[in-house]
């Protein structure tokens, strides 16, 4: 090893030791949480249950793993603690725990995850970090900047509160559930055969998903698109598939249940809006992995450890988190634009949700409209992200199907058929223009059509 390389390794070692000593207090708290969890079942009165067995085991693991993580060389120990934290989040929902057990375990799960990988940084992150730019090559902004991740954290927290409220009713902790617009709609949806068909509380699982979304949105440095690709990939797997699944479940409400649920719509809207906000970072990470693999690096090594790039372009454009709202709000929307045509297509997709009631449409045509409306709105919102603007073309066949199916399916009068058919044609036509693309995306730009 040459002298320059040896100095770089020594510098990383010193930086890792300083980072470890700075946050050593997080490791000492883990055994204390383990002791708390060991006595929680008898303290809160759920000893003898399946949840009590889970807490006894989790507490013992936290006690042992917390002590083992006091050594910086045991990088695996904090990751094992992280897994225990994940289980603490899932256990109350999977085991249908009592209210006190649910509160205790879910809050401690968040704390354990924060103390193991969030506050002290990813275990081994400093040792593995390599020099390189903060902004992806050819990009005009940093998709991993704190200002880009703040709205994702806030939306996740909002969805977490809404989902926990629904889970409290679903798990039997409260007797009634409030709905500001649909009266008994929320209660009827939660008590429906569709909801009861799940072996666990779907609202509880939603709260767990939002917990992890908030944590993964927060985790990592401002160059995590290259220094911590695994975090970005896991975050993307949480946001995109879960967002689409959540919207599909909401779409089923009027079709299979016959009622709407305000908080279900609220959480689905949050999930959907998170996709265009997060998609830029996911594309930047995928591009980085492709560059490194072309250079000969191992795919799995890059996923696990990240890597460096030539150039030291610092992120001088992103405002600090304590900047004024005048600076923060526009920066949060970098990478997102709203062409007039796409805004109109979105509005028409929303109109299709209300069309059955407004035009007296029933039967198979009504169900068809609910499904296509959800798909159209989803495509339109996701396509607000400039890096995936090409997805707007998916609305063209959807619009054509709306126009054609209006004449195929029964359930609408002649006037309603004309209106729905015209709506479909307009959606297809409005989805053709690309609209403005304000930012630059390096070698990804040929895909923005």
Which tens digit of pLDDT belongs to each residue from 390-433? 999 999 999 999 999 999 888 888 888 999 999 999 999 999 99
Rg for the chain, CA atoms, rounded: 25
Q: Is residue 218 domain-shared with residue 293, that is, in the same domain? A: yes
Domain end point (choices 312, 334, 356): 334
Non-local CB neighbours of 14 within 8 Å, separated by 6+ positions: none
Q: Is residue 430 domain-shared with residue 399, that is, in the same domain? A: yes
Higher pLDDT, 243 or 145: 145
Domain end point (choices 290, 316, 334): 334
Domains of the chain: total:
3
Domain end point (choices 293, 318, 334): 334
pLDDT at 380 over 80: yes
Asked whether the CA dihedral 29, 30, 32, 37 is positive or negative, the reply is: positive
Kindly report which listed range (15-24, 42-51, 295-304) carries the lowest average pLDDT score. 15-24
Q: Is residue 81 domain-shared with residue 156, that is, in the same domain? A: no
Query: What pLDDT was estimated at residue 13?
Result: 73
Q: How many CB atoms lie within 10 A of CB 73?
A: 7
Kindly report which listed range (19-33, 242-256, 431-445) carries the lowest average pLDDT score. 242-256
What is the Cα–Cα distance from 339 to 286, expressed in whole angstroms? 26
Q: Is residue 78 domain-shared with residue 165, that is, in the same domain? A: no
> For residue range 425-442, what is the model confidence (pLDDT) as tens digits?
999 999 999 988 999 998
Nearest to 448, CA basis, from 389, 394, 368: 389
Nearest to 370, CA basis, from 345, 351, 394, 395: 351
Q: Is residue 18 part of a domain?
A: no
Query: What pLDDT was estimated at residue 85?
Result: 94
Query: Which structure tokens are listed for 132?
Result: 């390189």
Q: Is residue 306 domain-shared with residue 213, that is, in the same domain? A: yes
Query: Which structure tokens are listed for 55?
Result: 């807490």
Strand partners, 441: 139
Q: Is residue 371 part of a domain?
A: yes
What's the CATH number where 218 sits? Answer: 1.20.1440.130
Q: Is residue 287 domain-shared with residue 379, that is, in the same domain? A: no
Q: Is residue 301 domain-shared with residue 168, that is, in the same domain? A: yes
Q: What percent of the chain has pLDDT over 90?
A: 45
**In which domain, by residue range, is 166 found?**
124-334
Nearest to 119, CA basis, from 253, 11, 25, 209: 25
Helix/strand/coil for 139: strand
Q: Is residue 72 part of a domain?
A: yes
Query: What pLDDT was estimated at residue 1?
Result: 46
Q: Is residue 291 domain-shared with residue 195, that is, in the same domain? A: yes
Q: Is residue 13 part of a domain?
A: no
Strand partners, 139: 441
Q: Is residue 27 domain-shared with residue 148, that is, in the same domain? A: no
Query: Which structure tokens are listed for 140?
Result: 């005009």
Q: Is residue 10 part of a domain?
A: no
Q: Is residue 104 domain-shared with residue 27, that is, in the same domain? A: yes
Q: Please, which pLDDT band fits residue 9 given cuts at 50, 70 and 90?
A: low
Q: Is residue 168 domain-shared with residue 295, that is, in the same domain? A: yes
Q: Please, which pLDDT band fits residue 3 given cuts at 50, 70 and 90?
A: very low
- For every residue of 329-376, DSSP letters joined together read HHHHTTTB---HHHHHHHHHHHHHHHHHHHHT--HHHHHHHHHHHHHH
Query: What pLDDT was estimated at residue 282?
Result: 94
Q: Is residue 168 part of a domain?
A: yes
Q: Please, which pLDDT band fits residue 8 given cuts at 50, 70 and 90?
A: low
Q: Please, which pLDDT band fits residue 68 given cuts at 50, 70 and 90?
A: very high
Q: Is residue 308 domain-shared with residue 260, that is, in the same domain? A: yes
Q: Is residue 172 part of a domain?
A: yes
Q: Is residue 11 part of a domain?
A: no
Query: What pLDDT was estimated at residue 304?
Result: 82
């Amino acid at each position: 090893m040459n002298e320059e390389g040896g100095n770089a390794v020594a510098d990383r070692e010193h930086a890792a030791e300083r980072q470890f000593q700075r946050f050593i207090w997080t490791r000492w708290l883990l055994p204390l949480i383990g002791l708390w969890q060991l006595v929680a079942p008898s303290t809160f009165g759920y000893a003898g249950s399946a949840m009590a067995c889970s807490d006894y085991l989790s507490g013992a693991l936290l006690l042992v793993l917390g002590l083992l993580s006091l050594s910086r060389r045991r990088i695996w120990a904090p990751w094992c603690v992280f897994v225990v934290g994940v289980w603490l989040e899932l256990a109350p929902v999977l085991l249908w725990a009592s209210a006190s057990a649910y509160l205790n375990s879910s809050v401690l799960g968040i704390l354990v995850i924060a103390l193991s990988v969030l506050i002290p940084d990813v275990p081994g992150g400093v040792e593995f970090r390599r020099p390189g730019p903060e902004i992806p090559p050819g990009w005009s902004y940093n998709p991993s900047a704190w200002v880009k991740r703040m709205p994702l954290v806030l939306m996740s927290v909002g969805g977490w509160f809404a989902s926990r409220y629904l889970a409290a009713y679903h798990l039997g902790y409260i007797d009634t559930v409030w709905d500001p617009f649909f009266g008994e709609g929320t209660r009827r949806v939660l008590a429906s055969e569709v909801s009861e068909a799940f072996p666990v509380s779907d609202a509880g699982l939603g709260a767990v998903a939002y917990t992890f979304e908030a944590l993964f949105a927060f985790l990592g440095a401002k160059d995590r698109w290259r220094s911590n690709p695994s975090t970005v990939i896991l975050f993307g797997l949480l946001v995109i598939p879960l967002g689409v699944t959540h919207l599909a479940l909401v779409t089923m409400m009027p079709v299979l249940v016959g009622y709407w649920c305000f908080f279900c719509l609220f959480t689905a809207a949050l999930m959907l809006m998170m996709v265009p906000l997060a998609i830029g970072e996911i594309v930047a990470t995928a591009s980085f992995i492709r560059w490194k693999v072309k250079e000969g690096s191992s795919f799995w090594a890059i996923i696990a450890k990240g890597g460096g790039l030539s150039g030291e372009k610092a992120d001088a454009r992103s405002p600090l988190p304590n900047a004024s709202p005048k600076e923060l709000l526009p920066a949060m929307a970098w990478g997102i634009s709203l062409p007039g045509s796409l805004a109109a297509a979105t509005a028409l997709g929303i109109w299709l949700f209300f069309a059955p009631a407004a035009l007296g449409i029933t039967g198979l045509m009504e169900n068809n409209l609910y499904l296509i409306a959800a798909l159209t709105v989803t495509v339109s919102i996701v396509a607000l992200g400039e890096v995936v603007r090409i997805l707007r073309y998916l609305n063209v066949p959807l619009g054509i199907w709306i126009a054609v199916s209006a004449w195929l399916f029964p359930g609408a009068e002649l006037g309603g058929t004309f209106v729905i058919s015209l709506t479909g044609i307009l959606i297809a036509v409005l989805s053709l223009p690309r609209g403005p693309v304000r930012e630059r995306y390096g070698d990804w730009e040929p895909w923005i059509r």
